[in-house]
Chain A
């Protein structure tokens, strides 16, 4: 009971945080002044696009760490963490790619370019689709967890290398993550930008907690069913 109470609090908190983030991003945040007026509304996507990207990387990092912990301690808990987090990561990766693509149309006048970040994110999406394909084609639970953990480690480690290798081609993506220059944002925007990132991180924690809770429930049902049949 205590656990589900904690979940309710977490759910409520992240609902409020996301609502506030929406308000701040869409209404409170000032227009960007250093770009042509036609694409100023589109610029607001930064408050969703960047947090999504950040959360997806956070999620895959959690999967990576949980995979190592699973191999180390052989405990179901870490496998549940790994797969739950990877699922959320896929959702946010897709959100990142789609929101970026929508922004790219007015800003770059194309839905798609082979920019390092775009390409890397597409590869990341493919990596974790492969991760779930691997899981899906193994029936035995412990082997599934072991193999997925190994793949989760390889996949995560390859991402920075992929990014580096594609980056050495020309890039037109704005370099935003430079904290020294206020993330390249104007007055009144930086705080909102940071807030939306925090709100999305809280959303990630909430989704992960719910997902893990659900997985434990599913495990319990499976165990009960086995006992009833056996």
Chain B
């Protein structure tokens, strides 16, 4: 067990260090997210009586699009540099590699979210930093990373590569997006966690279900 966690940590730490030195993913994700906020601002500003009606959608769509951008890169550099083969040759459990990759993707998206939440508050003049909202965002992002990491590994081995990723990912991810947007709009108008327990349960169920399926299937995705 200890060894397993060491592998997870090693993969996670490697990704963090690579990202810290290149800042490739984070920069593109963050800039993209800001662009999305700006575009949404122009798309909706003129005809909405209350900003809180659009902010949940803006937040989740910006996160989803920025996240898919980062996920797309998760395995591309590994593949192109040949380091994926190295990872797979290591005598370790493949699911530990999955978990490490998943956690690094999860962390990257969380960091981007930490970056855009204050911006959203400023641009749209709506306080989005609410504990219950952060919780639902956290849980939704976990499901996003859980499924996204597997699909990213799928997409990198196809001819279409990152073009295919959103097409594969978004239809599967839809329940999380719907639940997240609904719960977020509730929390913005002052609802409590208990008011949206069904949405939270749905996201938690999604997270658990797809983490388990990902654990079971990741082996087949990276098998050569």
Q: Is the CB of A151 within 8 A of B178?
A: no
Q: Is A20 part of the binding interface, using a Cβ–Cβ cutoff of 8 Å?
A: no
A151 contacts across to B, CB distance below 8 A: 151, 154, 168
A134 contacts across to B, CB distance below 8 A: 154, 158, 164, 168
Q: Is the CB of B175 within 8 A of A127?
A: no
Smallest beta-carbon distance A150→chain B, Å:
5
B182 contacts across to A, CB distance below 8 A: 168
Q: Which of B147, B150, B171 has the most CB of A within 10 A?
A: B171
Q: Is the CB of B159 within 8 A of A143?
A: no
Q: Is the CB of B217 within 8 A of A127?
A: no
Q: Is B39 part of the binding interface, using a Cβ–Cβ cutoff of 8 Å?
A: no
Secondary structure type dominating chain B contacts = helix
Q: Is the CB of A130 within 8 A of B160?
A: no
What is the CA–CA distance of A124 and B77 in the complex, to the nearest angstrom? 32
Closest to A71 in B: B220
What is the CA–CA distance of A134 and B159 in the complex, to the nearest angstrom? 9
Contact of A150 among B159, B174, B199, B217 (CB under 8 A): B217
What's the interface size class on B, roughly?
20 to 34
* Segment among B110-118, B128-136, B205-213 that sits at the interface with chain A: B205-213
Q: Is B48 part of the binding interface, using a Cβ–Cβ cutoff of 8 Å?
A: no
Smallest beta-carbon distance B152→chain A, Å:
12
Q: Is B157 part of the binding interface, using a Cβ–Cβ cutoff of 8 Å?
A: yes
Closest to A148 in B: B154
- 12 A-B pairs in the complex with CB atoms less than 8 angstroms apart: A71-B217, A71-B220, A130-B167, A133-B168, A149-B220, A153-B217, A157-B213, A158-B171, A161-B175, A164-B175, A165-B175, A168-B182
Cβ-closest 9 pairs across A and B:
A161-B175, A137-B158, A165-B178, A165-B175, A137-B160, A137-B159, A158-B172, A127-B171, A150-B217
* Residues of B bordering A, CB below 8 Å: 147, 150-151, 154, 157-160, 164, 167-168, 171-175, 178-179, 182, 198-199, 202, 205-206, 209-210, 213, 217, 220-221, 223
